[in-house]
Structure 1
Amino acid sequence: MKAMFSLLQTYFLFLVSFIILISVICFKWVSFRLKMKKKLPPSPPKLPIIGNLHQLGSSPHRSFQALSQKHGPLMLMHFGSVPMLVASSAEAAKEIMKTHDLKFANRPKLRIPDTLVYGSCDITFSPYGEFWRQVKSIAVVHLLNTARVQSFRQVREKETSLMIETIEKSHDSVIDLSELTFWLVNNIVCKVALGRSYQGLKFTDLLAKFVHVMGALCVGNFIPWLSWIDRLSGLDDKARKVAKEFDEFLEGVVEEHLDKRRKGEGHSAKDQDLVDILLDIQRDDAIGFALQRDTIKAVILDVFAAGTDTTYASLVWSISELIRHPRVMKKLQQEVTEVGQGKSMIYETDLEKMEYLKATIKETLRLYPAIPLLIPRESMQDVKIMGYDIPARTQVIVNAWAIGRDPTLWDEPEEFKPERFLNSSIDYKGLHFELLPFGSGRRGCPGVQFAIVMFELALANVLYKFNISLPNGVEEKDLDMSETNSITLHKKQPLLVKATPRF
């Protein structure tokens, strides 16, 4: 009897194992057949384990552009085990950010933003859903709407005037325009978002480290079992250190505002900054769920870091290109001089009259989108794009830099020619997919208006007041235009110039 029971037990185990084996084979076969039926986008050859990671290069936007010229405007790459769709044409971008915008409205879970931005509970990196909608609406409704942006006009004009005074005091000596434009934008953003400006080398260094770490390649995102490489390289420690330093700074900002409230020194509704607005929403429980302290700090960090870093980078690129193109510089100076009419400075009310200024800024953003590879999206379900099947949970990168230099869209795409925009309806607000410096759709940048008015005012006034030239006899054509390897497209070398008063 015992032997028979043992035999039945062995038979039963064999039967279960056989059923499991057949099930696995059937599953693999069905999966293979389904995959064969799907029409996937073309893919560059990949290596075992790392996939296409080795093809990123030091400038991923340039690497992707070169690969797209060989494999097409829609490529399916693999970074480790993660499928990555790379879009390098206006048509592909439109499909992703307009036609199927909702299906691509999610953000992938990324380790470095999770570390730096409080578990990605900000506007930029939080997953698509009700929380993201509420957090975004806070910034859009209370800080970035038209009336609110216009209400900060005096702050922008005052800070621009102070920068002009600093340049005037240089007395024809060499000045670092990269540094000056950084502090201009930083002071404006700080006063609007945080209530006052914050100066100092430590502050500059902290923002630079934040941007550098945010743009670093995190192996663990793509090959989880190789996460130890990020620990070994020091990336994890750097991210935690930057997050700790920023948290201490932001805690100080919030406590400063709370302390003023406790003393009855709060701002009037008209003079409120972003921190005041967020604290009011938290106090009044105005959005249907508790606004946590970390969420408040994450939104502040979003507005502050993104607003400062991208805008000043674009300003530096614009002035650099104008130096390299004296004809364009002269034409733009003629326009600002005619509009300025001898006034002490160009005011925001003057900007609407400056068509060539606006064309110059569009041309700068075409050639140098502040974030050349727009923040990655992730498909929430299977979707068909341009005849190809894109599986759910595929990450998506839109190469705005490559689209801005696409020869099928732009005549002489590598040339700096603002005239191309003079009689053109193409704009940068997300409705024209040939020009996408701020993205488009639900996940487009909500701070376009806020950034552009700073850009226009600063550029108009620098050219209105000064002739800008390179120092030490350096010729315009020799200006170093190399770029950093970061999430933001920065000029690698600081822009050192001589500024001679025009009047």
Structure 2
Amino acid sequence: MDYTSLLLWISLAWSCIHVVLLLSRKRPRRGNLPPGPIPLPIVGSLFKLGNRPNESLAYLAKLHGPLMTLKLGRVTTVVISSAKMAKEVLQKNDQAFAGRTVVDAVRVLHHDEASMVWSQPNPHWRNLRMMCNTHIFTTQRLDTSQGLRRQKVQELVAHVRENSRTGHAVDIGQAAFNTTLNLISNTVFSVDLVDPKSKSAQEFKDLVWRILEEAGKPNLSDYFPLLRSIDPQGIRRRSKDYFRKLHLLFDRKIDQRLPLRSSPDYCKRNDFLDVLLDHSHATDRHDIKALLTDIFVAGSDTTSTTLEWAMAELLRNPHTMAKARSEVIETIGSEQQVQESDISRLPYTQAVVKETLRLHPPVPLLIPHRAESDVEICGFTVPKHTQVLVNAWAIGRDDDAWTDPTSFVPERFLDSHVDFRGRDFELIPFGAGRRICPGLPLAYRMVHLMLASLLHSFAWKLPDGMSPQEMDMSDKFGVTLQMAVPLRAIPEQDNGCF
């Protein structure tokens, strides 16, 4: 159901919603809320969201300010749209805003209760985060697994080289997704999850996107909680089916591993599944499947989406592409392979990634926060249980913070110390504070390694004689922000390049 149909449904269901409001307990208005648009009866400001809420909220912030209140049905929402306000929420009041507003699409199979992404800041969440930080994302663990990432990127380069020889265009997002998915799968299961040449890879990518799309859709059940039992748009029903498919896959992997572990001759693989099963006293099977869902969905999509946007911006800006390729080839040499240790010697490539994340943050509104108590910000009160949306997309395009904010200009980062690791609030594509994305260190390595390798080994051109000005740079909104039209480009192997 598109957003226009959604609003039509609201109008037709007016009497039903009126009954809902009479039966529900009206939350008292506490304190002095930040300014915002005057809400309509019943629906509040739902009509103002549109199909691209990140853009609609950025426009409203220009009218009402970077700390803004919206009434979305029954849900009071505060929207953050500037670096200064983001710092207030994610640093100065980090603990108070560490809660999660859980969308109905993930209230399936009790995923929200077990998920590291969606659960509240409780001991269970801290235990999951500790296991991920200790056994996957520490510098020591990542350094140890460099060989695996190098192998997967070499497989990506080999796949692209096959297309180069035949003159076929490469689906950049799909190729990056396959590489990242199998990297995560080897980290967790010690095996590839999909054959990049089979339909299973595309099917898994489609499944991941459907989960993210459903979670990002405007949903009546989120705005009018008493409608959850009805699920009027069928979002939870579809989500349950998608989550169940992932759980069945993970069940098979766990069932294959358990008999091996019980054998006296079992040689531990020391992958993440072994770690989780070793801690099974603290995490039951359902918790394990929920955590694996988080890792596979979030990890595979955000990394591949970022690489696709980076390549799209470079193809759209040939001078920038030439400059980036020149840096990589001159730094690495034509006979060598790109190593992770080379990333620090590629400042322009790093600037390209930062500029990509500024314009195209993988999660444009981050994951919704929730106030755990009444909080005072800049003279206003954010009441307990208020939903808080941080518009990272708007912050990255704020003309008070950036010169020529809608243009792709990596050079702006060459003499700047601004980074995306959660300390500089002008650039927070992965969030900040205690709910910052734990997979950021792995994403950092993978995006740079894949991008530098693709630039090092190939020249690139658009298919069918398309000019850069003809490229479709529109996006489609879910929890993540993907290209509406998948990027396809033709690789050409340069003479003398690796």
CA distance in structure 2 between the aligned counterparts of 1:182 and 1:109, rounded to whole angstroms: 26
**Alpha-carbon shift at residue 229 of structure 1 (Å):** 5.9
Residue pair 2:102, 2:368 contacting (<8 A) in 1 also: no
**Deviation per residue, 1:197-252 (Å, 9 max, x gap):** 1111433332222222222222112212333663x432222012112211111111
The answer for the alignment partner of 1:260 in structure 2 is 260
Of residues 402, 415, 432, the one that matches 1:410 is: 402
Q: Which amino acid aligns with 2:224?
A: I
**Deviation per residue, 1:468-496 (Å, 9 max, x gap):** 11011100111101101211010111111
Would you say 1:142 and 2:143 are equivalent positions?
Answer: no
Would you say 1:177 and 2:172 are equivalent positions?
Answer: yes
Residue pair 2:358, 2:393 contacting (<8 A) in 1 also: yes
Q: Which amino acid aligns with 1:123?
A: M
The answer for the alignment partner of 2:294 in structure 1 is 302
Structure of greater Rg: 1
CA distance in structure 1 between the aligned counterparts of 2:33 and 2:455, rounded to whole angstroms: 50
**Deviation per residue, 1:238-278 (Å, 9 max, x gap):** 0121122111111112112213213356454xx52211111
The answer for the alignment partner of 1:235 in structure 2 is 235
CA distance in structure 1 between the aligned counterparts of 2:106 and 2:359, rounded to whole angstroms: 27
SS of 2:401's partner is coil
The answer for the alignment partner of 2:21 in structure 1 is none
The answer for the alignment partner of 1:445 in structure 2 is 437
Residue pair 2:107, 2:236 contacting (<8 A) in 1 also: no
The answer for the alignment partner of 2:186 in structure 1 is 191
CA distance in structure 1 between the aligned counterparts of 2:320 and 2:384, rounded to whole angstroms: 47
- How do residues 9-88 of structure 1 correspond to structure 2 at under 5 angstroms? 35=30, 38-88=31-81
Residue pair 1:369, 1:437 contacting (<8 A) in 2 also: yes
CA distance in structure 2 between the aligned counterparts of 1:317 and 1:57, rounded to whole angstroms: 23
The answer for the alignment partner of 2:223 in structure 1 is 222
CA distance in structure 2 between the aligned counterparts of 1:488 and 1:458, rounded to whole angstroms: 20
**CA RMSD, Structure 1 to Structure 2 (Å):** 1.7
Q: Which amino acid aligns with 2:155?
A: L
Q: Greater CA deviation, 217-226 or 58-67?
A: 217-226
Q: Which amino acid aligns with 1:128?
A: P
Of residues 144, 155, 158, the one that matches 1:162 is: 155
Residue pair 2:103, 2:215 contacting (<8 A) in 1 also: no
Residue pair 2:473, 2:484 contacting (<8 A) in 1 also: yes
Residue pair 1:466, 1:502 contacting (<8 A) in 2 also: yes
Q: Which amino acid aligns with 2:221?
A: G
Residue pair 1:52, 1:80 contacting (<8 A) in 2 also: yes
Residue pair 1:332, 1:357 contacting (<8 A) in 2 also: yes
Please list every run of 5 or more consecutive structure 2 residues that lacks an aligned counterpart in the other structure: 1-25, 195-199
**Alpha-carbon shift at residue 195 of structure 1 (Å):** 2.1
CA distance in structure 2 between the aligned counterparts of 1:408 and 1:365, rounded to whole angstroms: 18
CA distance in structure 1 between the aligned counterparts of 2:358 and 2:192, rounded to whole angstroms: 31
**Alpha-carbon shift at residue 421 of structure 1 (Å):** 0.7
Runs of 4+ in 1 over 4 A off after TM superposition: 264-267
CA distance in structure 2 between the aligned counterparts of 1:467 and 1:358, rounded to whole angstroms: 19
CA distance in structure 2 between the aligned counterparts of 1:255 and 1:388, rounded to whole angstroms: 53
**Deviation per residue, 1:427-453 (Å, 9 max, x gap):** 100000000011000111111111110
Q: Greater CA deviation, 475-484 or 39-48?
A: 39-48
**Alpha-carbon shift at residue 345 of structure 1 (Å):** 1.9
CA distance in structure 2 between the aligned counterparts of 1:140 and 1:265, rounded to whole angstroms: 30
Q: Identical aligned pairs, as a percentage? A: 34
**Alpha-carbon shift at residue 116 of structure 1 (Å):** 5.7
Q: Which amino acid aligns with 1:273?
A: D
The answer for the alignment partner of 2:345 in structure 1 is 353
* TM-score, normalised with respect to structure 2: 0.89
- How do residues 304-319 of structure 1 correspond to structure 2 at under 5 angstroms? 304-319=296-311
- How do residues 360-399 of structure 1 correspond to structure 2 at under 5 angstroms? 360-399=352-391
SS of 2:482's partner is coil
CA distance in structure 1 between the aligned counterparts of 2:459 and 2:447, rounded to whole angstroms: 18
- How do residues 454-465 of structure 1 correspond to structure 2 at under 5 angstroms? 454-465=446-457
SS of 1:76's partner is strand
Please list every run of 5 or more consecutive structure 1 residues that lacks an aligned counterpart in the other structure: 1-27
CA distance in structure 1 between the aligned counterparts of 2:110 and 2:360, rounded to whole angstroms: 26
**Alpha-carbon shift at residue 117 of structure 1 (Å):** 6.0
Would you say 1:328 and 2:323 are equivalent positions?
Answer: no
Would you say 1:108 and 2:101 are equivalent positions?
Answer: yes
Q: Which amino acid aligns with 1:223?
A: F
Q: Which amino acid aligns with 1:280?
A: D
**Deviation per residue, 1:278-307 (Å, 9 max, x gap):** 11112xx4xxxx322111111111111111
* TM-score, normalised with respect to structure 1: 0.89
**Alpha-carbon shift at residue 114 of structure 1 (Å):** 2.1
Residue pair 1:275, 1:300 contacting (<8 A) in 2 also: no
CA distance in structure 2 between the aligned counterparts of 1:378 and 1:142, rounded to whole angstroms: 28
Residue pair 1:379, 1:392 contacting (<8 A) in 2 also: yes
CA distance in structure 2 between the aligned counterparts of 1:81 and 1:364, rounded to whole angstroms: 36
